[in-house]
């Protein structure tokens, strides 16, 4: 890549980041249109059902009095070539005479995968794809880890979040948990939640905390799906998580007819995912079919243990871990650990995190690590 290519793709990545958490089930994409060495148009995908980044870049150029014919398009992901909620981007690129397209990566979605590139090449457009050895390639992959997993496996990306003391406790031996982490850390965690599609907790968290589990910040109007693990359908339907239709309860065959009837009368959607134990794999498959691409798990010790235990069976159960660690010690065998469940018998069987980063957020350490990486 030339220096100009790199600069333009960096700009496309910067634009794409503006759409993170807002475009699901579509990917996050940025585009820059260049003519005679100057940027004449740019855009990013803002929301599913609205024009894609490539179209907005063309419209921007036209609004500034520029003719896109003969221009070069830098776009972080392969242009689509099929009719969805919007027409194919490839048709527009051919219509306006775009000469060259530089793609950050190929789209793994079956309806697009390589077909967008082929359609452009058949139309006489020169198409190149960013090398996997390029430092920018990893930045581009990071934009759409949730989309890449969903497109490749049909499963949503899973982030497990928790706030804890330095010695790994989320509550004291008396059950007190408010507040272990700093206010800035809690705000940061809410923003992280708001960039996902669904938030998942266990019935125990609902009983003890009666949480809202709502979106915050710039995404505060977003309707997150609230997913509750309740193996017996035992929760009262008066909890705040049941305030509207954006809630789903995962249960088992242990739920009684009386409780099923109670939830049905309350208009709360539920489904069984196993005879006695909720199958997380089946639940994730169900959510993936509902176009849920990113699930934010912020349950209690039991729910976290449930997920970590299942990683032994399927590495796709958890993809990212987000822990907020406050520099204080609670101690005590009776204090609640961040991860319960059976745990690991041997160290060499532990869930190991990759590409771990540490950031100070209001005096709380924000540690991010990854179990899986998709490309």
Q: Which residues pair with 31 in a beta bridge?
A: 43, 75
| 237 annotated to a ligand binding site | no
Q: How far is CA 163 from CA 57, 64, 176, 191, in A?
A: 41, 48, 13, 14
Which tokens go with 357? 């980063």
Q: Which residues have CB under 8 Å from 319's CB, separation 6+?
A: 145, 149, 157, 158, 159, 370, 371, 372
Determine the 3-state secondary structure of 282 from DSSP.
helix
Q: Is 54 marked active-site? A: yes
Distance, CA of 15 to chain centre: 18
| 89 annotated to a ligand binding site | yes
- Integer Cα distance of 303 and 297 in angstroms: 8
| 81 annotated to a ligand binding site | no
Q: Which run of H or E residues covers position 203? A: helix 203-209
- Integer Cα distance of 294 and 158 in angstroms: 6
- For 97-136, the DSSP string reads T--EEEESS---STTTTTHHHHHHHHTT-EEEE--TTSHH
**Tokens 């036209």, residue located:** 62
Selecting among 42, 54, 78, 192, the annotated active-site residue is 54
| 80 annotated to a ligand binding site | yes
Q: Are 172 and 330 in contact (CB under 8 A)?
A: yes
| 301 annotated to a ligand binding site | no
Cβ burial 17-44 (10 Å sphere, 16+ → b, else e): eebbbbbbbbbbbbbbbbbeeebbbbbb
**Tokens 């979106």, residue located:** 215
- Integer Cα distance of 24 and 95 in angstroms: 27
Which tokens go with 242? 């049941």
| 179 annotated to a ligand binding site | yes
| 277 annotated to a ligand binding site | no
**Tokens 């997920």, residue located:** 307
Phi/psi for 325 (5° steps) reads: -115, 120
> Which residues are documented as binding site for NADP(+)?
163, 179, 205, 209
> Which residues are documented as binding site for Zn(2+)?
52, 80, 89
> Which residues are documented as binding site?
52, 80, 89, 163, 177, 179, 193, 205, 209, 213, 298
Active centre residues (catalytic): 54
């Amino acid at each position: 890549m030339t220096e100009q290519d790199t600069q333009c793709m960096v700009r496309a990545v910067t634009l794409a980041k503006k759409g993170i958490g807002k475009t699901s089930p579509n990917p996050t994409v940025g585009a820059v249109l260049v003519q005679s060495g100057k940027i004449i148009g740019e855009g990013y995908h803002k929301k599913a059902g609205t024009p894609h980044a490539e179209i907005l870049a063309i419209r921007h150029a036209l609004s500034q009095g520029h003719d896109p014919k003969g221009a070069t398009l830098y776009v972080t992901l392969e242009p689509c070539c099929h009719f969805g909620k919007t027409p194919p981007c490839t048709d527009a690129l051919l219509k306006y005479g775009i000469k060259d397209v530089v793609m950050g990566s190929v789209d793994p979605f079956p309806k697009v995968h390589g077909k967008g590139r082929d359609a452009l090449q058949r139309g006489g457009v020169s198409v190149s794809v960013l090398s996997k050895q390029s430092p920018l390639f990893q930045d581009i992959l990071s934009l759409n880890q949730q989309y890449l997993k969903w497109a490749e496996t049909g499963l949503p990306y899973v982030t497990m979040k928790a706030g804890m003391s330095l010695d790994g406790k989320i509550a004291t031996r008396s059950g007190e948990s408010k507040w272990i982490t700093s206010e800035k850390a809690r705000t940061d965690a809410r923003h992280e939640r708001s960039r996902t599609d669904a938030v998942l907790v266990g019935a125990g968290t609902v009983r003890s905390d009666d949480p809202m589990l709502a979106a915050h910040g710039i995404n505060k109007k977003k309707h997150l799906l609230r997913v509750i693990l309740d193996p017996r359908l035992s929760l009262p339907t008066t909890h705040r998580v049941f305030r509207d239709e954006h809630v789903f309860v995962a249960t088992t065959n242990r739920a009684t007819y009386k409780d099923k009837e109670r939830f049905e009368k309350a208009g709360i959607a539920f489904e069984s995912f196993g005879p006695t134990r909720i199958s997380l794999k089946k639940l994730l498959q169900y959510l993936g079919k509902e176009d849920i691409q990113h699930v934010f798990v912020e349950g209690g010790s039991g729910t976290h243990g449930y997920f970590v235990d299942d990683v032994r069976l399927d590495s796709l159960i958890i993809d990212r871990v987000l822990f907020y660690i406050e520099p204080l010690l609670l101690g005590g065998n009776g204090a609640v650990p961040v991860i319960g469940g059976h745990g690991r018998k041997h160290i060499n069987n532990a869930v190991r995190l990759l590409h771990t980063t540490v950031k100070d957020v209001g005096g709380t350490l924000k540690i991010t690590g990854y179990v899986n990486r998709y490309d």
